[in-house]
Amino acid sequence: MRRIAIVGAGQAGLQLGLGLLAVDGYEVTVVSGRTPDAMRSGPVMSTQAMFGPALRVERAAGLDLWAGEAPSVHAVDAVLVPEPGLRALEFTMTLDEPAQSVDQRVKMARWLELLEERGGRVEYRELDRAGLAELAAAHDLTVVAVGRGELAGIFERDAARSPFDAPQRRLAALYAHGVGAPDPTAAPRARMHAVPGVGELYLQPALTLSGPCDILLWESVPGSAFDRFGDRPPGAEQLRRMREVMAEYLPWEAELWAGAEPTDPGASLYGALTPVVRRPVARLDGGVAVLGIGDALVVNDPITGQGANGAARAADACLRAIVERGDAPFTTEWMTQVFEDFWQRHARHGVALTADLLTMPAHLQGVFAAAAEHEPVARRLANTYAEPADHAAWLATPELTDAYLASVR
């Protein structure tokens, strides 16, 4: 039996652990700072919209446990608001495969229980550097999947791959019941509002502890009129301020929020992420090396929803690499190559797409304008969020974008 330790019970760590338990020959230990009950009774952690390719990985592993309950989102209605109250551009972005958002409090708590039911060992403790060195010395491979936790600091920042050195948006998210839909008879859709220079609002139907809900992800350009939540107000006050700003900028959306209320006392989330890419291997006291995965290595602003999707795909890539390795030792060269392959194939595209959406270069503004006139452009844009490798084929340079838009016109 090969002994694998995983630190962190999130999308990356639990998906990898459950994946290894499904293959013969692995003894899996997960170290989790929180119990399933603590997760369920704690605050929300993400808005976790998952796209088709990541959901397919979960489905193949038998981990898509909420398919029947969670709203299936087939399309995103996008509106560009250049000044308060003005809907300048509108288009619908259709996804080839539906997206889904299951509150990580529901999902990770259940996956953690499942891991124990399937023979994994769980140690409930917050690991520090010394504890990590001890754990790593006792295992064939230790994977650090601590998200944005402090322990991720053991991995050195890769300046050449990190596009920013400060947060580009301040974030506020709220889970709510009672949000109206523009067409209550239509299938659930996500809604995206972009107010250039001010911020973006993403609404997505989701599943939370108390059933279906809507999640609003509020992305504010620091210092703008959207940036009203620095004092982290409790849900009711957060909702009041959100309605106030919506009434000025997006009055049609404010109407839909007239009867809304927070889903529970933990329904609010605040933050500001500095996007970062880190080197994948850290050497600990005593000389043992560990491999990072998920947000521990690649943090994106959630504006394009690359985080949990990237973590899912990183876990899948890591699982395959571990199994392919057979009985050979997990050397630092192997660890470096596992991440390098994943970076080249997937992660770099998500980072580039996210940087573009945060900064909106002129050619991307042209894509939004074209999407309002040509359905294939809107469709390709939506599906690039789901499969960001397509960014390299049509969004990476103005020339590529111009060539594609000319072919559509």
Ligand X SMILES: Cc1cc2nc3c(=O)[nH]c(=O)nc-3n(C[C@H](O)[C@H](O)[C@H](O)COP(=O)(O)OP(=O)(O)OC[C@H]3O[C@@H](n4cnc5c(N)ncnc54)[C@H](O)[C@@H]3O)c2cc1C
Please list every residue from 280 through 319 that binds ligand X, using CB under 6 A. 294-295, 302, 305-309, 311
Q: Which residue has the tokens 């990985």?
A: 57
- How do 73-80 and 2-7 pair as beta strands? unpaired
> Shortest distance, CB of residue 230 to ligand X, whole angstroms?
15
Using a 10 angstrom Cβ sphere, with 0-12 exposed, 13-18 middle and 19 or more buried, the burial of residue 407 is exposed
Kindly tell me which residue out of 46, 142, 354, 383 binds ligand X, with binding defined by CB under 6 A: 46
In whole angstroms, what is the distance from residue 55 CA to residue 308 CA?
Answer: 11
Q: Please report whether residue 201 would count as binding ligand X according to CB under 6 A.
A: no
Q: Please report whether residue 179 would count as binding ligand X according to CB under 6 A.
A: no
> Shortest distance, CB of residue 300 to ligand X, whole angstroms?
7
Tokens representing 20? 């290894």
Specify the residue, 385 or 404, whose C-beta has the smaller distance to ligand X.
385
| Contact (CB, 8 A) for 322 and 141 | yes
Specify the residue, 126 or 255, whose C-beta has the smaller distance to ligand X.
126
Kindly tell me which residue out of 13, 53, 235, 350 binds ligand X, with binding defined by CB under 6 A: 13
3-state secondary structure of 281: strand
User: In the 8-state DSSP scheme, what is residue 150?
Assistant: G
Kindly tell me which residue out of 95, 102, 127, 239 binds ligand X, with binding defined by CB under 6 A: 127
| Contact (CB, 8 A) for 176 and 213 | yes
Kindly tell me which residue out of 4, 5, 6, 9 binds ligand X, with binding defined by CB under 6 A: 9
Specify the residue, 292 or 380, whose C-beta has the smaller distance to ligand X.
292
Q: Please report whether residue 271 would count as binding ligand X according to CB under 6 A.
A: yes
Specify the residue, 21 or 171, whose C-beta has the smaller distance to ligand X.
171
| Contact (CB, 8 A) for 73 and 189 | yes
Specify the residue, 127 or 355, whose C-beta has the smaller distance to ligand X.
127
Q: Which stretch binds ligand X (CB under 6 A): 10-18, 174-182, 192-200, 363-371?
A: 10-18
Please list every residue from 333 through 392 that binds ligand X, using CB under 6 A. none
> Shortest distance, CB of residue 134 to ligand X, whole angstroms?
13
> Shortest distance, CB of residue 396 to ligand X, whole angstroms?
21
Kindly tell me which residue out of 84, 149, 212, 361 binds ligand X, with binding defined by CB under 6 A: 149
In whole angstroms, what is the distance from residue 326 CA to residue 324 CA?
Answer: 5
Kindly tell me which residue out of 4, 5, 8, 52 binds ligand X, with binding defined by CB under 6 A: 8
* DSSP H helical ranges for 124-234: 129-137
3-state secondary structure of 389: helix
Residue 265 φ/ψ, nearest 5 degrees = -65, -20
Q: What is the DSSP string of 320-351?
A: HHHHHHTTS---HHHHHHHHHHHIIIIIHHHH
Q: Given the rule CB under 6 A, which residues bind ligand X?
A: 7-13, 31-34, 46-49, 126-127, 145-149, 151, 171, 173, 217, 269, 271, 294-295, 302, 305-309, 311
